[in-house]
Copies of this chain bind each other. A is one copy, B any other.
Amino acid sequence: MQNLFRQILLRKRPTGEPRPSDFEPVEAPVPTPGAGEVLCRTIYLSLDPYMRGRMNEGISYTGTPNPALGSVMVGGTVSEVMVSDNPGFPRGTFVAGYDGWQAYAVSAGKNLRKLDPKEAPLTTALGVLGMPGWTAYVGLLDIGQPKPGETVVVSAASGAVGSVVGQLAKLRGCRAVGVAGSPEKCDYVVKELGFDACVSYKTEALLPALRKACPDGIDVYFDNVGGDVLAAVLKLVNRGARIPLCGLISEYNATEPPPGPNLRPLLVNRVLIQGFIISDHGDRFPDFLRDCTAWYRQGRLKCREDIVVGLENAPQAFIGLLKGRNFGKLIVKVGDDPTLTSC
């Protein structure tokens, strides 16, 4: 354990789209855990759109200051405990944590969650059975309140959150309609995940295609993107529609906040928009994990992963994520996975 290990630091705060030069790969000596601590070896790193906000100056929406320049980029991880002075996490335990863009990390165990690779592949802890799935579960079920027969639309439909939203909508007896960035992604959500329809917004005229896909209007719109999709949805919302506002990826790289959609449909149709951040909803994590693990194991909740190998490739993969270049939950494989499974 005298080796150096790789970290990726935030070198510059991006203006607009992040560039590779905003990230700095460095090597550091592997740390030694202290009393009660564990040393974790990162196997998988999750890449998620929210990280773009954490690269900015200021306070993040979780209420904590964004990382300083020169800090390790933040992110959810799946790791193996290599050295342990914590009886709760013996050597060889697999854990989900928040170790960031680095190959090793020391932890007191407080924010680690044990994973059982026999129950579900390790990678699922970063996607369908992790933060993205939890986000879909709370946003759709608690805020969206879908009722059988209603039409649920979700943007970024083939992504880590959107793919779960549509499948949960189907499990609730709804019509599930996706909006995704290519015909291939649309094919996937309809044919593999069982959505009723999907609009490929880059190759189809959005509003007419969405109108056709939603002949009875829209009752719930789970918004991951904002922008043109939200504006089109607002032209088709039914009375009493609910819009869980989960993300606005269309504007994360904007240098000036763009205007939003005209809000008259909210008034006329008594629509609710509720912004939410999943970290506020810890009370629902056990319910989510119980339900979604069961559905996953029954084959009723499917997932797709887009795995990039090598931490050094994380910056490019992240830049691509913000442009929708990934197809499925984007994960960086940082180290060997002895379980050799994936979702």
Q: Which residues of A contact B (CB under 8 A)?
A: 61, 63, 226, 230, 239, 245-248, 251, 257-277, 280
Across the interface, A266 reaches (CB within 8 A) one of B264, B267, B268, B273, namely B273
The 9 A-B pairs at the shortest CB distance, nearest first, are namely: A259-B259, A257-B262, A266-B275, A260-B260, A61-B268, A267-B275, A260-B263, A273-B273, A272-B274
Instruction: Report the minimal beta-carbon distance from A103 to chain B, rounded to whole angstroms.
Output: 32
Write 5 A-B pairs (CB below 8 A) sorted by A numbering: A61-B268, A268-B275, A270-B275, A270-B277, A271-B275
Highest count of chain B CB atoms <10 Å: which of A245, A267, A276: A267
Across the interface, A61 reaches (CB within 8 A) one of B267, B274, B276, namely B267
**This chain: copies in complex:** 2
**Chain B residue nearest in CB terms to A235:** B257
Measured between alpha carbons, how far is A264 from B60 in the docked complex, in Å? Answer: 12
Highest count of chain B CB atoms <10 Å: which of A245, A263, A273, A276: A263
Measured between alpha carbons, how far is A266 from B263 in the docked complex, in Å? Answer: 13
B257 contacts A260, CB within 8 Å? Answer: no
B258 contacts A260, CB within 8 Å? Answer: no
Chain B positions within 8 Å of A261 at CB level: 259-260, 263
Instruction: Report the minimal beta-carbon distance from A278 to chain B, rounded to whole angstroms.
Output: 11
Query: Can you name 14 extra interface pairs (CB under 8 A) apart from A61-B268, A248-B263, A270-B274?
Result: A61-B267, A63-B239, A245-B263, A245-B266, A245-B267, A247-B267, A251-B262, A259-B261, A268-B275, A270-B275, A270-B276, A271-B274, A271-B275, A272-B273
**Chain B residue nearest in CB terms to A61:** B268
Chain B positions within 8 Å of A273 at CB level: 263, 266, 272-274
B258 contacts A262, CB within 8 Å? Answer: yes
**Chain B residue nearest in CB terms to A257:** B262
Instruction: Report the minimal beta-carbon distance from A225 to chain B, rounded to whole angstroms.
Output: 11
Instruction: Report the minimal beta-carbon distance from A26 to chain B, rounded to whole angstroms.
Output: 31
Highest count of chain B CB atoms <10 Å: which of A226, A245, A269, A275: A275
Measured between alpha carbons, how far is A263 from B226 in the docked complex, in Å? Answer: 8
Measured between alpha carbons, how far is A274 from B277 in the docked complex, in Å? Answer: 18
Measured between alpha carbons, how far is A220 from B266 in the docked complex, in Å? Answer: 17
Measured between alpha carbons, how far is A239 from B275 in the docked complex, in Å? Answer: 10
Measured between alpha carbons, how far is A275 from B268 in the docked complex, in Å? Answer: 7
Measured between alpha carbons, how far is A61 from B269 in the docked complex, in Å? Answer: 7
Measured between alpha carbons, how far is A259 from B258 in the docked complex, in Å? Answer: 10
Chain B positions within 8 Å of A266 at CB level: 245, 273-275
Instruction: Report the minimal beta-carbon distance from A287 to chain B, rounded to whole angstroms.
Output: 20
Chain B positions within 8 Å of A263 at CB level: 226, 230, 245, 248, 260-261, 273, 275
Measured between alpha carbons, how far is A272 from B244 in the docked complex, in Å? Answer: 9
Chain B positions within 8 Å of A245 at CB level: 263, 266-267
Chain B positions within 8 Å of A265 at CB level: 275
B267 contacts A248, CB within 8 Å? Answer: yes
Measured between alpha carbons, how far is A237 from B258 in the docked complex, in Å? Answer: 18
**Chain B residue nearest in CB terms to A266:** B275
Chain B positions within 8 Å of A271 at CB level: 274-275
Measured between alpha carbons, how far is A262 from B247 in the docked complex, in Å? Answer: 13
